[in-house]
Amino acid sequence: MRDVAVIGVGMIRFGELWDKSFRQLISEAGSKAILDSGVAGKDIDAMYIGSMSSGRFIGQEHVGALVADASGFSHLHIPATRVEGACASGGLAIREGYLSIASGINDVVVIGGIEKMNDVAGTSATETLATAADQEWEAFFGQTFPGIYATIATRHMHEYGTTKEDLARVAVKNHSNGALNPYAQYQKEIKLETALNATMVAYPLGLFDCSPVTDGAASVILCAAERAKEFTDKPVKIIASGQASDTLALHARRDICTLDATVNAAKMAYKLANITSKDIDFAEVHDCFTIAEILAIEDLGFVKKGEGGKAVENKITTLDGEIPINSSGGLKSKGHPVGATGVAQIVEVALQLRNEADKRQIKDARIGLAHNIGGSGATCTIHILEAT
């Protein structure tokens, strides 16, 4: 198996981008990554595009070829494949690209992640996101994602004494990080009281416990590590890629306070990289809801099960903490264009490892992890990157 490196990253500022089309979003992010990497169109062997539901959001499927076309590569006839795994679509696209290079089939691969979610009304966006849940067991009965994660949160509160303040502190921390990220949808800090007193969405999750509906795109250029120096002098190595699945419906899980997909994908990744959770310097985790970040840091082994709620208060996961979590602002503050999220996480980890994260730069960042979840935990991808 060959080593794989990230040789270019690009993304656009996430937000409510009504004045930009799907094509514009992805070609802007893609061009930035290509320029950053130094590759030319003729160097590209394949493209993988993560997009959860372009069909429902903008009425357009077949976006693999569309992205190649929009990027100006139609004449090169580059193999272009769309990858879908709900909100983990981006992470899966990274993994597909990684596997294709590691296997020796491809040398240079362009990864894109995109979702344009604001062209439909809020209720339609909620319905579309609910297609990532189990239609027969959850969605048909009115369950939505805030409801599913609220169920997890109330159980976590019951089992481990996690409080609404613990949840709110995750949002406050991520907004504080996002305020330093020029690509974030919400570049402003919030107060704990604001988060606690916000409109209730599904108890105990208020408005500030939920990631927003976002338009956005991100792109990463992957390359066989042995050829990376042909294109860039700042490659970042991907030292592991892990993936796992679980039941689509929450109620069928062994323990609803643990995402076994995360546990298993992490096990796979740590083994491949020959490291443990203690070797990770920082991570981008899938905080689609504040409770999801608490689960993630527990399931990735950064804190013990049940202690995730106190991680912000104990300054473990803050930007200057022992393991900074979501320096980008996370899904909460940076925004969550579902198909783009997994790719944007790799962009952030690579920027940190290249020491290019400016005001949010984590000191001595050497090994970073990206954790991307689909649905309520039925799909998980984990990538571990190392500075070179």
Partner 1 sequence: MEGIGIVSYGANIPRLRIKTKDIAAVWGKDGDSISNGLGINEKSVPGIDQDTATISVEAARAALKRCSINPQDIGAIYIGSESHPYAVKPTGTIVGEAIGATPDLMVADYEFACKAGTAGIQTCTALVKSEMIRYGLAIGADTAQAAPGDALEFSASAGGAAFIIGKENIVAKINHTLSYTTDTPDFWRRAQRKYPSHGGRFTGGPAYFKHITNSTLKLMERAKTKPEDYNYAIFHQPNGKFPISVSKKLGFSYDQIKQGLIVPYIGNTYSGASLVGLASVLDVAKPGDRIILSSYGSGAGSDSFDIIVTEDMNNLGRNNAPSVADMIENKQYIDYGTYAKLTDILYWE
Q: Which of 100, 118, 176, 317 binds partner 1 (CB under 8 A)?
A: 118
Q: How far is the CB of 147 from partner 1 (least distance, A)?
A: 15
Using the rule CB under 8 A, is 1 a contact of partner 1? Answer: no
- Which of 156, 175, 286, 336 is catalytic? The answer is 336
- Which of 87, 210, 257, 380 is catalytic? The answer is 87
Please provide the distance, in angstroms rounded to a whole number, between the alpha carbons at the two ends of the chain: 19
For partner 1, the closer of residues 199 and 274 by Cβ is 199
Q: How far is the CB of 213 from partner 1 (least distance, A)?
A: 9
Q: Which of 18, 142, 278, 364 binds partner 1 (CB under 8 A)?
A: 18
Using the rule CB under 8 A, is 61 a contact of partner 1? Answer: no
Q: How far is the CB of 365 from partner 1 (least distance, A)?
A: 36
Using the rule CB under 8 A, is 19 a contact of partner 1? Answer: yes
Q: Kindly give the interhelix angle for 122-130 and 145-160, rounded to the nearest 10 degrees.
A: 70
Q: Which of 72, 104, 122, 161 binds partner 1 (CB under 8 A)?
A: 122
Residue 87 among the catalytic residues: yes
For partner 1, the closer of residues 1 and 121 by Cβ is 121
Number of residues that bind partner 1 (CB under 8 A): 8
Using the rule CB under 8 A, is 142 a contact of partner 1? Answer: no
For partner 1, the closer of residues 118 and 376 by Cβ is 118
Using the rule CB under 8 A, is 322 a contact of partner 1? Answer: no
C-alpha dihedral over 38, 44, 50, 51, to 10 degrees? 100
Using the rule CB under 8 A, is 59 a contact of partner 1? Answer: no
Q: Half-sphere exposure of residue 114, counting CA atoms within 13 Å on the CB side?
A: 32
Residue 288 among the catalytic residues: no
Which two structure tokens, joined as six digits, stand for 61? 């499927």
Could you tell me if 98 and 46 are in contact, meaning their C-beta atoms sit under 8 angstroms apart?
no
Phi, psi of 375 (to 5 degrees): 65, -145
Could you tell me if 385 and 367 are in contact, meaning their C-beta atoms sit under 8 angstroms apart?
yes
Q: Which stretch binds partner 1 (CB under 8 A): 44-52, 116-124, 164-172, 263-271?
A: 116-124
Query: In angstroms, rounded to a whole number, what is the distance separating the alpha carbons of residues 187 and 34?
Result: 26
Site map 184..213 versus partner 1, x via CB under 8 A = ---------------xx-------------
Among 261, 257, 331, CA closest to 295:
257
Using the rule CB under 8 A, is 364 a contact of partner 1? Answer: no
Q: Which of 16, 61, 159, 226 binds partner 1 (CB under 8 A)?
A: 16
Beta bridge partners of 4: 224, 238
Q: Which stretch binds partner 1 (CB under 8 A): 12-20, 253-261, 278-286, 358-366?
A: 12-20
For partner 1, the closer of residues 32 and 332 by Cβ is 332
C-alpha dihedral over 331, 335, 337, 339, to 10 degrees? -30
Active-site annotation, residues: 87, 336
> Can you give the binding site for partner 1, defined by CB under 8 A?
16, 18-19, 118, 121-122, 199-200
